[in-house]
């Protein structure tokens, strides 16, 4: 910086970039994939810049470019090139994205620290605009990857979503809550994206260690969804959908009224579909047997009122 910060190099352009969604990628896919994203972006920045430009990693997920004799138009051209290359890049089915901001030093008396701060501020304004969209794309990619990995999960999620909607409608919930139930049903198992495929597809009984691995999926789903402002509220239901009224569920062993109504609806829908669908580890139960199981565990695992409404108002109409 001291070598570049001379009058003959004016205007000096500073670009600061912050990788979008890196924490989410690390949480879901692990740090090896996160590292590959950093490497991919580093290569994109290198091919987009010129030999006289200085490129550096500025922090965990931040990069910086210092460009001598570069005006606003040239800077914008380089930024657009980086964005276009990122838009066409993927790592492990994950989109590559970086928010970029810049500021230009035009007078030698301007303090470089102020130039950096202004570039950083501009970058964060861009990040506010871009991050929400990026996270939405990431979540859609995760769901798509989960469904590709295990097509039964897609069919299960769609059926659970439909059951949630019919229960919510029968209970007279608001249109807003019914829409939330629809989404919750679709995404309730998104945390399984991080579970080993061999465990998800195992035809025999799981070992204790494998079952402990499966039990991680509500917390993983919660972490994924709570990173997105629009889905933070729904993430609580994903975290709690394997909790039981008597406190014997997981991951936190909460009970009764600590489990929200929509989560209790999801639990019934999820359990009923799991029982009445053929899976690698079990044959589908008859509807009467599944109903008996729901009744048997009403008041301990399931909300008794939700079960009764489901049986009387939903299943009776389907018979």
CA distance 4 to 116: 14
Report how far apart the first and last C-alpha atoms of the chain are (Å, whole number): 75
Instruction: Render the burial of 142-159: b for 16+ CB within 10 Å, e for the rest.
Output: bbebbbeebeebbebbeb
Q: How many C-beta atoms surround the C-beta of residue 139 within 10 A?
A: 22
pLDDT of residue 185: 93
The class level of CATH for 7-143 reads: alpha beta
Q: Which of 305, 316, 216 is nearest to 261 (CA)?
A: 305
| CB of 70 closer than 8 Å to CB of 12 | yes
Task: Please tell me the total number of residues recorded for the chain in this structure.
Answer: 319
Six-digit token string for 176: 């807003």
Alpha helices in 17-111 (DSSP H): 22-29, 31-48, 72-87
| CB of 298 closer than 8 Å to CB of 307 | yes
Q: Where in the chain is the domain with CATH 1.10.3210.10?
A: 151-318
Angle of the 175-187 helix axis to the 112-149 helix axis, nearest 10: 80
Q: Where in the chain is the domain with CATH 3.30.70.270?
A: 7-143
CA distance 299 to 240: 17
66 by Cβ neighbours in 10 Å (0-12 / 13-18 / 19+) ranks as buried
pLDDT of residue 319: 45
State the pTM of this model. 0.66
Q: Which of 149, 23, 17, 155 is nearest to 93 (CA)?
A: 149
CA distance 77 to 118: 19
Q: What are phi and psi of 313, to 5 degrees?
A: -100, -20
CATH code for the domain defined by 151-318: 1.10.3210.10
Q: What does the pLDDT profile of the chain (319 residues) look like in tens digits?
A: 889 999 999 999 999 999 988 887 887 778 999 999 999 999 999 999 999 999 999 888 999 999 999 999 999 999 999 999 999 999 987 789 999 999 999 999 999 999 999 999 999 888 876 766 666 666 777 787 778 777 888 899 999 999 999 999 999 999 989 989 998 999 999 999 888 888 888 888 889 999 999 999 999 999 888 876 667 888 999 999 999 999 999 999 999 989 999 999 999 999 999 999 987 667 889 999 999 999 999 999 999 999 999 999 988 765 4
């Amino acid at each position: 910086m001291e070598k570049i910060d001379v009058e003959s190099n004016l205007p000096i352009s500073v670009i600061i970039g912050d990788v979008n969604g890196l924490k989410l990628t690390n949480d879901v896919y692990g740090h090896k994939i996160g590292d590959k994203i950093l490497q991919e972006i580093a290569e994109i920045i290198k091919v987009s810049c010129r030999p006289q430009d200085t490129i550096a990693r500025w922090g965990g997920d931040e990069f910086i470019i210092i460009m001598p004799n570069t005006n606003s138009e040239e800077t914008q051209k380089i930024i657009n090139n980086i964005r276009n290359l990122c838009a066409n890049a993927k790592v492990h089915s994950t989109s590559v994205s970086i928010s970029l901001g810049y500021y230009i030093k035009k007078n030698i008396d301007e303090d470089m620290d102020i130039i950096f701060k202004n570039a950083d501020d501009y970058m964060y304004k861009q990040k506010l605009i871009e991050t929400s969209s990026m996270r939405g794309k990431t979540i859609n990619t995760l769901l798509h990857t989960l469904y590709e990995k295990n097509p039964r999960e897609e069919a299960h999620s769609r059926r659970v979503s439909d059951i949630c909607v019919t229960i919510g409608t029968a209970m007279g919930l608001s249109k807003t809550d019914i829409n939330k139930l629809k989404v919750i049903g679709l995404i309730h198992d998104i945390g399984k994206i991080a579970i080993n495929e061999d465990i998800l597809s195992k035809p025999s009984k799981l070992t204790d260690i494998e079952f402990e691995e499966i039990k991680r999926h509500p917390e993983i789903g919660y972490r994924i969804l709570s990173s997105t402002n629009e889905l933070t509220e729904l993430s609580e239901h994903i975290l709690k959908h394997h909790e039981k009224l008597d406190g014997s569920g997981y991951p936190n062993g909460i009970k009764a009224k600590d489990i929200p109504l929509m989560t209790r609806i999801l639990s019934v829908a999820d359990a009923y579909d799991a029982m009445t669908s053929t899976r690698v580890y079990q044959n589908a139960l008859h509807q009467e047997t599944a109903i008996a199981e729901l009744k048997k565990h009403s008041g301990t695992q399931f909300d008794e009122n939700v079960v009764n409404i489901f049986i009387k108002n939903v299943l009776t109409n389907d018979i």
